[in-house]
Amino acid sequence: MRLIAIDLDGTLLNAESKISAENRAAIKKALISDCIVAICTGRATFDVKALLNGLDIPIIAANGGTVHDFNYKLLSRTLMDRETGQKTAKYLTEQDIYFEVYTDDALLSPYDGKQKLEAELDIVASANPDEDRDTLWQGALTQFKQFGIKPVPDIRKVFESDENIYKLLCFSFDTEKLKKAKADLSANPKLGLTSSGKHIIEILPAESGKGRALREFAKHYGIEKQDIYAIGDSPNDLSMFEEAGHRIAMGNAIDELKHMSMFITKSNDENGVAYFINKLLENEYH
């Protein structure tokens, strides 16, 4: 049995954040060809479920925070320490960095987050006239279009509740501000940091991550490393690649992933996932 682990943004999803008919058909073809196909993403489970739209496959979500089997059966979860999360949220608030908190039922965001990011973009765009403002803003809009996003008056109060918290995601157009935050937060041994884009830092429990979750999921099904095929494009896919015997980089992937890969498929806007899966099933991948 083979396991195909697929990232979402920049991989299975096209530029419109949709799963193409070609990619959907290829996944269904793999499922009837003695393969397990699993989503391995930074998005929340409920968000992935909405995107899959009836396609029943396992989901590794929130960068390994939750692992769901077929029929959304929960196999495992990795929670953020409440005190650590509270201190991190306090730091991000003091640094005036937009962030979201991933819980079981929602993506909590500051009620004025969109307006603050617009104001930040105006400043960054003025200082960098070569940057395309519309393209930059589309990156931020992806966050606000996620299923389950819920603006709240004071996002820090979630750490005073009994909500399960899986990760924090921060977004900023100010790359210097993000660089400082990454350096400061990396000093905390209870945190693990990764990224799914230039303007994003994903903050996880240190013991979480796509790689760890993928390894445990494969063990659950008795699948060896040499039978794991990982497909991705971003820094947060690095740990997933490390656990896979076969590493497939998207045509639009970062160079680091391409250098680690054994096969470079087409881009996410060219149905790169379907292209690879069809190669694999037709024994044209070696």
Helices 133-144/113-127 angle, 10° precision:
160
Question: Catalytic site residue 69?
Answer: no
- Choose the catalytic residue: 7, 47, 174, 227: 7
SS3 166: coil
CA pair distance 33, 157, nearest whole angstrom:
47
Q: Give the angle 183-235-185 at the CA atoms, nearest 5°.
A: 20
Q: Give the angle 266-272-273 at the CA atoms, nearest 5°.
A: 150
User: Which structure tokens are listed for 66?
Assistant: 């939750």
Contact 61, 44 (CB under 8 A): yes
So which residues are the catalytic ones? Answer: 7
